[in-house]
Amino acid sequence: MTAIVLRSAWQGLRSTGLMGGVAVATIATALFMLGAFALVVVNMEGLLDDFGRELQVTAYLEEGLAEDQAKELAHRVETVEGVEFVNHVGKDEALERFRAMAGGAALLEGLEGNPLPASLGIFLRPENRTPEGLAILQASLDGLPGIEELAHGQEWVDGYARLAALLRVVGYALGGVLSLATLLIVANTIRLGLYARRDEIDILELVGASRFFVRTPFLIEGFVQGALGGCVAAALLALAFGLLVPELRYGLAFFLGNAAPRFFDAGEIFRLVMGGAGLGLGGAALALVGGNS
């Protein structure tokens, strides 16, 4: 029976003609818009991740702290909740970095000795790059012998956290609305196809087809049309990405800095195609329920 249902679905797909093409094109268009939005979101998330990786808390060490004591302190700090890793910068390395940043030695002429302190660069895990995560770190380091001062860029962390939360909320909201709109468009397109084939459904029911036999080929068709729509959308997105990114490189550089805009990876493309298939399947199910077939 399964083979017959699959054959029926194949016959349906083969004979669907223009309506099937319209359904695939509609799904592809809807998924193209959804995919374009998702592409913006993944690039912004990538940008935020890069930005977050650069966020660090600097603990300046007391003058005269021995190298081995500084290293032990670094190990202790690494055990604090939320800390990903700690980078120890000795006095000499700090001076070298300053020289490199200042662009030469002129500024340092006349200085006796090295006035720069040793420090620990403390990097938080992504989920702890929040005001709360920062507060935990601060409380843990407070009063720790060997630490002179903490510099943590509270306003930067706050801004990062707000931006990440905003992107998440806007992403979910817009993604949800777009997905719902896509589902309804797909359901309506498939329902139009069903109306066009109402006679076929009547005939199947007339000769004693079960609900399973009548409905399953339409669900399979919806799934296949959705997957095809997803493939077309992925191809169009790749084409648009390839054509537009070089044209917009200066504008994108303004937003993304040195980070190169990226296209979907293989897993994300698979999810887009399967998302299309799911929408096609859901749309067909919705159309069948609405059509009371």
Partner 1 sequence: MTATFKAQDEDSPLRAPRASEAPVRMYGVSKSYLPGSWALKDVSLEVGRGEFVFLTGPSGAGKTTLLKLLFAAERPDTGQILVLGRNIARLGGGAVPALRRRVGVVFQDFKLLTRRTVEENVGVTLDVVGTPSREARSRVFNTLRQVGLHGRRNDLPVALSGGEQQRIAVARALVGEPDVLLADEPTGNLDAELSIEIIELMMAAADRGTTVIVATHDRSLLERYGRRVLRLEGGHIAETAGDSGA
User: For residues 70 and 145, what is the distance between their CA atoms, to the nearest angstrom?
Assistant: 10
User: For residues 256 and 166, what is the distance between their CA atoms, to the nearest angstrom?
Assistant: 18
User: Which of residues 15, 87, 138, 154 is near partner 1 by CB under 8 A?
Assistant: 15
User: Smallest gap, in angstroms, from Cβ of residue 267 to partner 1?
Assistant: 38
Stretch binding partner 1 (CB under 8 A), from 7-15, 42-50, 114-122, 273-281: 7-15
User: Which of residues 204, 272, 279, 281 is near partner 1 by CB under 8 A?
Assistant: 204
Torsion over CA of 172, 178, 183 and 187, rounded to 10 degrees? 160
Does 198 bind partner 1 (CB under 8 A)? Our answer is no
Which uninterrupted H or E stretch holds 102?
Answer: helix 91-102
Does 8 bind partner 1 (CB under 8 A)? Our answer is yes
Does 199 bind partner 1 (CB under 8 A)? Our answer is yes
Site string for partner 1, 115-154 (x = CB under 8 A): ----------------------------------------
Residue whose entry in the numeric block shows the structure tokens 């909201």: 173
Q: How wide is the angle at C-alpha 32 spanned by C-alphas 28 and 36, nearest 5°?
A: 170
Site string for partner 1, 16-45 (x = CB under 8 A): -x----------------------------
Q: Which residues contact 58 (CB under 8 A, 6 or more apart)?
A: 119, 120, 121, 122, 150, 151, 152
User: Which residue type does 112 have?
Assistant: E
Residue whose entry in the numeric block shows the structure tokens 């020289």: 99
User: Which of residues 102, 195, 210, 243 is near partner 1 by CB under 8 A?
Assistant: 210
User: Smallest gap, in angstroms, from Cβ of residue 216 to partner 1?
Assistant: 12
Helix (H, G, I), strand (E, B) or coil at 61: strand
Cβ nearer to partner 1, comparing 10 with 37 = 10
User: Which of residues 203, 248, 253, 289 is near partner 1 by CB under 8 A?
Assistant: 203
Q: How wide is the angle at C-alpha 186 spanned by C-alphas 182 and 188, nearest 5°?
A: 120
Which letter does DSSP use for residue 62 in this model? P
Site string for partner 1, 213-232 (x = CB under 8 A): x-------------------
Longest pairwise C-alpha distance within the chain: 101
User: Which of residues 45, 62, 93, 205 is near partner 1 by CB under 8 A?
Assistant: 205
* Interface contacts to partner 1, rule CB under 8 A: 1, 3-4, 7-8, 11, 15, 17, 199-200, 202-211, 213
